[in-house]
């Protein structure tokens, strides 16, 4: 018999049995809503916010996504955060000046 999916809780239980912390992380892909001018206008506030999240232990990783040839940046990025729930993860990302000011939109995957 083949499976196409498993309950998330089954995976959590398995990794906890192996001694892992099994803390929930959220992978956020963020993309520009228009041109880079809007993104660049907010970048300083955005980076200040990310430093705050990092200091608070919320931000696990973040950075720009280069083009495949590693020569350009077109405004998108990836953020990995710790949160207690999807609702909390959305609130964290909504408060990022990039999203609050409409320069970028995001998609989250737990």
Average pLDDT for consecutive 10-residue bins of the chain (110 residues)? 78 80 88 96 97 96 95 95 95 98 97
- 110's tokens: 């737990």
**Residue 13 within a domain:** no
**Number of domains composing the chain:** 1
* Alpha-helix residue ranges (DSSP H) falling in 4-72: 8-17, 36-55
**Residue 14 within a domain:** no
Give the pLDDT score at 18.
81
What pTM was computed for the model? 0.84
Query: Could you list the residue range(s) of the whole structural domain that residue 49 is in?
Result: 21-109
**Residue 53 within a domain:** yes
State the CATH number of the domain containing residue 78: 3.30.70.1060
Q: Write out the H or E segment, with its range, that includes residue 7.
A: none
**Residue 7 within a domain:** no
Phi and psi at 56, nearest 5°, equal -80, -5
Is 50 exposed, middle or buried, given 0-12, 13-18 or 19+ CB atoms closer than 10 A?
Answer: buried
**Residue 58 within a domain:** yes
**Residue 5 within a domain:** no
**Residue 88 within a domain:** yes
**Residue 93 within a domain:** yes
Q: Which residues is 81 bridged to in the sheet?
A: 26, 59
């Amino acid at each position: 018999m083949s499976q196409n999916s498993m309950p998330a809780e089954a995976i959590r239980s398995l990794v906890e049995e192996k001694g892992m912390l099994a803390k929930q992380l959220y992978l956020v892909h963020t993309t520009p809503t228009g041109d880079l001018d809007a993104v660049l206008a907010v970048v300083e506030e955005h980076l200040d916010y990310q430093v705050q999240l990092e200091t608070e232990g919320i931000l696990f990783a973040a950075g720009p996504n280069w083009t495949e040839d590693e020569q350009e940046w077109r405004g998108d990025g990836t953020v990995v955060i710790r949160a207690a729930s999807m609702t909390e993860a959305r609130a964290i990302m909504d408060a990022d000046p990039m999203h609050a000011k409409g320069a970028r939109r995001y998609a989250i995957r737990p």
